[in-house]
Amino acid sequence: MKKTSKIPNQEVQKEFINCIEDGGWEPVMDAIRSSDELLSSTLDGDEEKVASMIEQAHQENTSILKYNDENALACVISLAYYSAKKDYSIFRELAGGKGYADMVFVPRSNVNKPAMIVELKWNKTASAAIEQIKNRQYIESLKGYSGEVVLVGINYDDGDFKKHVCRICRNGAAPKKRQGKKYFHRRRCFYCISFMEAHRNYLQVKPRRTWN
């Protein structure tokens, strides 16, 4: 049986963090704080901040031999958004619409935050990444979710400055469930057709002549 432990309240959590910091784990705490800040900046739509933080994480966590690699960038972004796992289920290469979304963040059931779809580009544009999410309908990958969706496009240019650019769009919305509407439509058509057939048959009945 798998056993888990929980920290009961905020006071104990703070003491736990203090113990980690005193034990020489300050770099780990810095990374967690940075990850929290990255998620917050993404949801706030701060494109420049997100691009800057992704660029820093890319430089710190990727070797020079693998720097110009989209898969390496995807791994770096997964690491950069590590703290988001407490609020999101994170998927890579998730099938949806007309292809596979690079990264999809689905909020957990008890979390009131929008879903996110992240698309990565190399030597293209962040705007092209956003357009790909829309054109290929990656939002369809969010089955069972009908809330707001944040679309994030990140492009890395391997020129002299190795610049990262981010575009964030909050206009996305997951498709709403239509089962009830379709059921009502079929039901309505069934009654309409039944009525028309009954009415047609009624008109075809020839009236009988009665004699007094």
pLDDT tens for each residue of 91-114:
999 998 999 999 999 999 889 999
pTM, two decimal places: 0.68
* Among 105, 84, 30, 103, residue whose Cα is nearest residue 60: 30
Average pLDDT over residues 4-9: 56
The amino acid present at 47, given as its one-letter code, is: E
Helices (H), 123-178: 126-135
Q: What does the pLDDT read at residue 37? A: 95
Say whether pLDDT at 165 is over 90.
yes
Say whether pLDDT at 182 is over 90.
no
Q: Which two tokens stand for residue 151?
A: 């679309």
Say whether pLDDT at 176 is over 80.
no
Is 164 in contact with 154 (CB distance < 8 Å)? yes
Integer Cα distance of 159 and 154 in angstroms: 16
CB atoms within 10 A of CB 145: 16
Name the pLDDT band for 45 (thresholds 50, 70, 90).
Answer: very high
Q: Which two tokens stand for residue 208?
A: 């009988």
- Using left for φ > 0, alpha for ψ between -120 and 50, and beta otherwise, residue 211 falls in beta
DSSP state of 77: H
Name the pLDDT band for 123 (thresholds 50, 70, 90).
Answer: confident
What sign for the dihedral angle of Cα 106, 109, 111, 113? Answer: positive
Say whether pLDDT at 29 is over 80.
no
Q: What does the pLDDT read at residue 206? A: 47
Say whether pLDDT at 200 is over 60.
no
